[in-house]
């Protein structure tokens, strides 16, 4: 006999199911999008016409990787998620690096306010780092800027912001050169800091690892957002018109978070559609919204809320939990805590529900349902991430 529980449970399983055959067809589509993104027809990385690829495949202007023997001292910035980091980095010449850094929290106001305020804040943090590290303010410094958003790179140290992702939506930034914005903010503080390189975090990860291991060919980020960069042959980049290169290779920023914006192959369910509609960038970056840390906790919350509202999950007193009704109240670590819970009575799951949602359920069925939901979300994210990794690996195999 089919019970009402069977019905909603199988609907949920179906909404997150991604069998191998489906993954293979997604992979084939991914490979095609990579090729189209490099083609001459896809001239501008910011192009969003219906014929352009959903993978921007942005040439990074990085045409050689470190040998591991380089030496020097420079500043480095890392902007892209919850925190902004300022580093002083010393390359020792034997693949080893010494670094110290300060971490600054980027406020919600800075993520959504005018770009000038955000870049002004970045310059203030750089000044604070110099002061607290005992580095003279009147000296000249060179700086590498890791900026983890889609940028149409125009040289190694310039590039215009194509669009914001994650939860950044600052005004007057899209279409502007982010290095110029930083430079202007630094000048206002009379700091003599020169931006020598602008890189995506995936490109920075690739380069940093190549300094330790010269066989490195790709960098992958699975964090607040997701993306990858890899080393491509210039001959395979028909759209490259950036002039002569030092080698026959070029690091490409795939910007895979935007994969299949056309929704041709991604299995978008009603929860994904809600996440997308409420995001700062609706209609795009759906792959990122199914895979990366900024969204997975919220996906779990939306499913819990839906099942609770239908009377399938939690006791009536728990269904009115304010946190259950508050967007982004669940951190992504909730999923890791629950997924790794191997206790017979799901004690860690119970604790996570109490800590993060103020839900004090003792019901084994509730706990098992929550455990299963987290597993389904994590498994689908892992499988989709594996498609991207497989596509990059494929380049080096064939
Ligand atoms: C951005 C990418 C970045 C990735 C990981 C995405 O939202 O579009 O440029 O590499 O996040 O930080």
Minimum CA distance residue for ligand 1 atom 1: 149
In this predicted structure, what is the pLDDT of residue 10?
93
**Domain annotation for the chain: domains and CATH numbers:** 4-28+264-389 (3.40.367.20), 59-253 (3.30.420.40)
Any ligand 1 atom below 6 A from CB of 289: no
Confidence of residue 48 (pLDDT cuts 50, 70, 90): low
* pLDDT for the residue numbered 2: 72
Q: 281 CB under 6 A from ligand 1?
A: no
Q: Is 166 a catalytic residue?
A: yes
Alpha helix stretches (DSSP H) within the chain: 4-16, 20-38, 108-112, 115-132, 178-188, 201-212, 270-278, 286-291, 293-309, 316-319, 333-339, 347-357, 364-397
- Whether ligand 1 lies within 6 angstroms of the CB of 388 is answered as no
Give the pLDDT of residue 397.
Answer: 86
**pLDDT in the model for residue 237:** 97
To the question of pTM greater than 0.85 for the whole model, the response is: yes
H helix runs in 133-254, sequence order: 178-188, 201-212
The chain-wide mean pLDDT, for the chain, equals: 95
**364 has a pLDDT exceeding 70:** yes
pLDDT of 51 strictly over 80:
no
For range 115-140, the mean pLDDT: 97
Q: Could you give the CA distance from residue 385 to residue 390 in angstroms, rounded to a whole number?
A: 9
Catalytic residue among 56, 152, 166, 350: 166
Active site residue 272: no
Confidence of residue 47 (pLDDT cuts 50, 70, 90): low
- pLDDT score for 313: 97
pLDDT, tens digit, 9 for 90 and up, residues 67-84: 999 999 999 999 988 899
- Give every CB contact of residue 195 below 8 A, 6+ residues apart in sequence: 143, 145, 157, 179, 182, 183
3-state DSSP call for residue 152? strand
Residue with tokens 């840390």: 293
Give residue 251 CA to ligand 1 midpoint distance, Å: 16
Confidence category of residue 6, pLDDT binned at 50, 70, 90: confident
pLDDT per residue as tens digits for the range 315-351: 999 999 999 999 999 998 999 999 999 999 999 999 9
* From 257, 285, 388, mutation site for ligand 1 pocket: most ligand atoms within 8 A of C-beta: 257
Check residue 4 and give its pLDDT: 76
What is the model's pLDDT at position 45? 56
For the stretch 178-198, pLDDT in tens is 999 999 999 999 999 999 999
What per-residue confidence (pLDDT) applies to 46? 56
Q: Kindly state the tokens that stand for 101.
A: 């850094």
Answer yes or no: are the C-beta atoms of 338 and 376 closer than 8 Å. no
Ligand 1, from 54, 56, 106, 165: best to mutate by most atoms within 8 Å of Cβ? 165
80 C-beta closer than 6 A to ligand 1? yes
């Amino acid at each position: 006999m089919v019970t009402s529980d069977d019905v909603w449970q199988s609907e949920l399983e179906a909404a997150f199911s991604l069998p191998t055959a489906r993954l293979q067809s997604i992979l084939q589509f991914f490979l095609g999008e990579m090729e189209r993104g490099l083609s001459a027809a896809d001239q501008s990385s910011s192009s969003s016409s219906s014929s352009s690829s959903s993978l921007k495949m942005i040439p990074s202007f990085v045409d050689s990787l470190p040998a591991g023997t380089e030496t020097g001292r420079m500043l480095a910035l890392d902007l892209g998620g919850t925190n902004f980091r300022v580093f002083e980095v010393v390359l020792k010449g034997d693949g080893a690096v010494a670094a110290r850094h300060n971490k600054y929290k980027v406020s919600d106001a800075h993520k959504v306010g005018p770009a000038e305020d955000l870049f002004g804040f970045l310059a203030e943090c750089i000044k604070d780092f110099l002061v607290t590290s005992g580095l003279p303010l009147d000296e000249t410094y060179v700086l590498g800027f890791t900026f983890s958003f889609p940028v149409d790179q125009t040289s190694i140290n310039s590039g215009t912001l194509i669009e914001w992702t994650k939860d950044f939506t600052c005004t007057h930034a899209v279409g502007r050169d982010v290095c110029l914005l930083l430079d202007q903010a630094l000048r206002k503080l009379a700091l003599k800091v020169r931006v020598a390189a602008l890189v995506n975090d995936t490109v920075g990860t690739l380069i940093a690892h190549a300094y330790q291991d010269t066989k490195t060919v790709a960098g992958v980020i699975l964090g607040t957002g997701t993306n990858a960069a890899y080393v491509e042959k210039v001959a395979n980049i028909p759209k490259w018109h950036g002039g002569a290169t030092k080698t026959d290779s070029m690091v490409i920023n795939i910007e895979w978070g935007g994969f299949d914006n056309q929704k041709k192959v991604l299995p978008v369910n009603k929860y994904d559609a809600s996440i997308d509609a409420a995001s700062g960038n609706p209609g795009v970056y759906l792959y990122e919204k199914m895979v990366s840390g900024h969204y997975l906790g919220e996906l779990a919350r939306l499913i819990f809320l839906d099942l609770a509202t239908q009377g399938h999950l939690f006791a009536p007193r728990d269904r009115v939990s304010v946190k259950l009704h508050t967007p982004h109240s669940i951190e992504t670590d909730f999923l890791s805590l629950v997924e790794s819970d191997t206790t017979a009575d799901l004690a860690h799951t119970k604790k996570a529900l109490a800590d993060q949602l103020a839900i004090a359920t003792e019901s084994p069925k509730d706990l098992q349902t929550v455990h299963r939901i987290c597993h389904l979300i994590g498994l689908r994210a892992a499988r989709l991430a594996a498609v991207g990794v497989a596509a990059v690996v494929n380049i080096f195999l064939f």
